[in-house]
Each structure stands twice: as structure tokens, then as C-alpha cells.
Homo-oligomer: A and B are copies of this chain.
Amino acid sequence: MVKTLRVPEATVTRLSVYSRYLERLDRNGVITVSSGEIAEGVGVSPAQVRKDLAYFGEFGTRGVGYNVKDLMRYTLKILGLDRHWNLILVGAGNLGYALCTYKGFDDRGFTIVGVFDDDLTKIGKKINELDVMPLEEIPRVIKENNVRIGIIAVPPGGAQGIADIMVANDIQAIMNFSTIALNVPDYVEVRNVDLSVKLEILTFNLGFRAAQNL
């Protein structure tokens, strides 16, 4: 077990949001920012911002605030985004297409270097600049591009098999869009992405409001 992390996932998620906000401030030429301004900009409380940043050491000067560029660089470094990450993607269906063309990945230093599918009718087709390749090519592409992260965007039935191939080829982190839970060794990090969870937060809030007659 390597679950020695004590930083809550919600904190890491907010850090990711802060870093985007800081990038925007930096692009707009802003030099310093207070925790109150960050809080206002991203929609959390100032105390939450200070608490989140405190996990990672001391920042800012009382009464002056944070230096935008320094804090931006530091948050990116904490998130592992001071380097470039190559990814592979398995599953060249609608979701795979959308992920390959998703601008948000590039912006944060993620590049999909290989797309794979076991559907013969898809192999050889082009998505952006990438040819869809057969699964047999996965080991070579991982090795040549030093890939540590894989994205699974296949139907539920095929997901575990793909995860097994990834694990056997040194993938250490998996983003799983299939709706099943994957069995992988403890040292492999998995994050499941279920797009309907966000909808359920919305319906929870709508229902809660209706119940209060607001």
C-alpha cells in the first residue's frame, strides 16, 4: 500500500482551480493577489483558500498577499504540471474522439500520443493527427513515449482487459470513463469519471430547493 497521501482530493481539485485562476491573472498582468480575491474569483471562502495553500507550506505576506507568478508556478509544480505528460487513449468511439480533440488537455501540458481500438473498422482512421492503432501497438507506444497515464474510453465489457494491458506495460495512473470499477494493483492510481455525477449534484440542489419552496 502506498496510500500515504494526507492531502484530501477535494483540496487537490481546488488547487487545480486556483492554478487556472492564477494563470488568468498572470496573463492579464496582475502582480499580487489576496486570498480573498482568489476566493471571490473561484467561488470558495477565503479561509478555505488559506487552508488549502497551507498544506504545502507558507505563502504570501500578511497585508500584501501572494505574488501571482510565484504562486501560479508553485501550484503547477505541486500538481505535477511543471512537466509535460504523454498519455495514451484506448477507445476511438464518440467519447474517444471528443477527448482527442479536447483543448483543455493541451492547455495543461497533456498530450495524447496514441489512440487504440480493437475495432478493425476504426483502425487506420485519423483523429486529429493520430492514426487509430490496434491494441498490439500499445506496448511500443508506451515505451517510445515514456507514457505513465492511460485513458480508458471503451464500453464496460472491455475495460478490465484494457486496464490489464496498461498495468502490464507500466502505466501507473488510469482515467477510467467506462462505468465499471477496475481491478488493478494498489500502486496504480485510478480515477473514475462518471459524467452523470455532476448532473446529480444539480438535481440534488434543484430538489432540495423545491423542498424548501425557494
Contacts and interface: CB of A to CB of B under 8 A. Distances in A.
Given A94-B98, A97-B97, A208-B5, A79 B200 contact: yes
A200 B80 contact: yes
Interface residues on A, range: 35 or more
Interface in A90-134: 93-95, 97-105, 107-108, 110
A31 B206 CA distance: 31
A107 to B, nearest CB: 7
Contacts of A107: 179, 196
A200 B95 contact: no
B195 A108 contact: no
A103 B179 contact: yes
Interface of A: 2, 4-5, 7, 9-10, 12-13, 15-17, 78-81, 85, 87, 93-95, 97-105, 107-108, 110, 148-149, 172-173, 175, 179, 187, 189, 191, 193-209, 212, 214
22 contacts: A7-B204, A16-B196, A16-B197, A16-B200, A17-B197, A78-B204, A79-B204, A80-B206, A80-B207, A94-B97, A94-B101, A97-B98, A99-B195, A102-B195, A104-B194, A104-B196, A105-B199, A108-B196, A148-B206, A173-B203, A175-B199, A191-B202
